Structure 1
Amino acid sequence: MNILWDFDGTLFDTYPVYSKLMSQILGPEIREDEIYAQLKISFTHAFDYLDVSETQARRFFSLFRETPAQAFRPFRDVEKVLNFADENVIMTHNNRTDLFKILKLYGFEKYFADVVTSDDHFPRKPDPASYIYLNEKHAIDLVVGDRLLDIIPAKAIGAKTCLFQNKEPGADFYLDDYQDFFITVRL
């Protein structure tokens, strides 16, 4: 089985850290759980919804780059799924440097045959261009993400889809915890 993964909120529990950083910038008037909910839709959506200025956005990304990789933790049991797959690839809007800083800390880089990041200049999800590219190279069977914009492009390549910690309609499978992967996902 070849799996295409989203990174943030799918492989690693990054959104609590992002919410905390954004809260530092926006102040106590906006609750962290509200920031979290908006970020889970998309960064673009959250920045628009929260009326984040360009200066605030630059500050956010600066704080993110200053955050130690140890602040970002892999989800429990995700490594078992990575180890099970024949091939794993990542498509993320994160940049390559920050992504590999986190992957290398946990020794996860060895699990990925290919990675597409913002540095590769594909259109942002849900545009399917990056998925098509990865599918042509790796024959993707399953796409795992935490947001609809992660699984929408999977339909363009004919892959099965799995939403992680998200029950929005549209996926073939739903997981709240990776320990259930082997009983839930059947290809």
Structure 2
Amino acid sequence: MNVLWDLDGTILDAWPTLVQSFIQISGKNLDPNEVLPLLKNGNAFEKYGVPSEKIIDFRKTERTFRHEEKPLFPYVRDILEQNNINVLVTHRNRQSTEELLDYWNLAPYFEEVICPEFDGFFLKPHPESYEYLHRRYQIDLAIGDQDTDLIPARKIGISTCAFRNPNPYADYAIDCYSKFETITCKDRG
């Protein structure tokens, strides 16, 4: 199977560090459970009145967390190993992405990694990076934890899998990669 992955919240459990980073740069006493969905859908800065210029501080703060505080989800390495091709599209910057992939020894599993902002592509949910990867690798499935990960795949006819979050744009949904085989069995027939 040829799979297009998201990174944060899909391969790595990085949302806790992202939420804490946002709370720190906001300078406010915020409830992490309220921040998470707003951060995921891109509304946190506006909702809490944090100037968009603070995105640089947000990224710098998030990078201060140790890599082990952004662990791999269970069984994800097994899935990466069994796939024919894995590609990645993440909104992280190139340096941070490469550091995390190297730390977790994941870089060898990926044929190509796209950081749209740094590689000349539009950000998700624009389908440009997905179209490029689909033409190049004939992608069978896109896996992500947010609408922005699944919408571009849907737009160009790639099957979608929501990870840990029910999603109206998902053809499949799993909450643990131990259940990934149920998807591959369905796709085989």
Please classify the TM superposition score into its range, dividing by the shorter chain length.
over 0.9
Give the structure 1 partner of residue 173 of structure 2. Answer: 174
| Inter-CA distance 127–55: structure 2 relative to 1 (3 Å threshold) | closer
Q: Which runs of 5+ in 2 are unaligned?
A: none
**Alpha-carbon distance in structure 2 between the residues aligned to 1:122 and 1:51:** 28
CA shift digits 1:5-30 (9 cap, x unpaired): 01111111111111111122224532
**Alpha-carbon distance in structure 1 between the residues aligned to 2:168 and 2:90:** 22
Shift of 1:55: 5.0
- Structure 1 window deviating more from structure 2 (149-158 vs 99-108): it is 149-158
**Alpha-carbon distance in structure 2 between the residues aligned to 1:119 and 1:5:** 17
**Alpha-carbon distance in structure 2 between the residues aligned to 1:61 and 1:119:** 14
**Alpha-carbon distance in structure 1 between the residues aligned to 2:127 and 2:28:** 38
Q: Which runs of 5+ in 1 are unaligned?
A: none
| Inter-CA distance 51–121: structure 2 relative to 1 (3 Å threshold) | farther
Give the structure 2 partner of residue 9 of structure 1. Answer: 9
Q: Is the 8 A contact 1:145 1:164 kept in 2?
A: yes
Give the aligned CA root-mean-square deviation in angstroms.
1.4
Instruction: Summarize the alignment of residues 114-153 of structure 1 with structure 2, pairs less than 5 Å apart.
Output: 114-117=112-115, 118-153=117-152
CA shift digits 1:45-70 (9 cap, x unpaired): 22222221245333212212333222
SS in 2 for 1:74: coil
Q: Is the 8 A contact 2:10 2:163 kept in 1?
A: yes
Q: Aligned pair count?
A: 185
**Alpha-carbon distance in structure 1 between the residues aligned to 2:150 and 2:167:** 11
Instruction: Summarize the alignment of residues 9-158 of structure 1 with structure 2, pairs less than 5 Å apart.
Output: 9-42=9-42, 45-117=43-115, 118-158=117-157
Q: Is the 8 A contact 1:132 1:156 kept in 2?
A: no
Counterpart code for 2:26: L
Shift of 1:175: 0.6
**Alpha-carbon distance in structure 1 between the residues aligned to 2:125 and 2:52:** 23
Q: Is the 8 A contact 2:81 2:109 kept in 1?
A: yes
Q: Is the 8 A contact 1:15 1:39 kept in 2?
A: no
SS in 2 for 1:161: strand
Q: Is the 8 A contact 2:13 2:73 kept in 1?
A: yes
Counterpart code for 2:21: L
Counterpart code for 1:57: I
TM-score normalised according to structure 1 size: 0.93
**Alpha-carbon distance in structure 2 between the residues aligned to 1:79 and 1:99:** 17
Shift of 1:166: 0.9
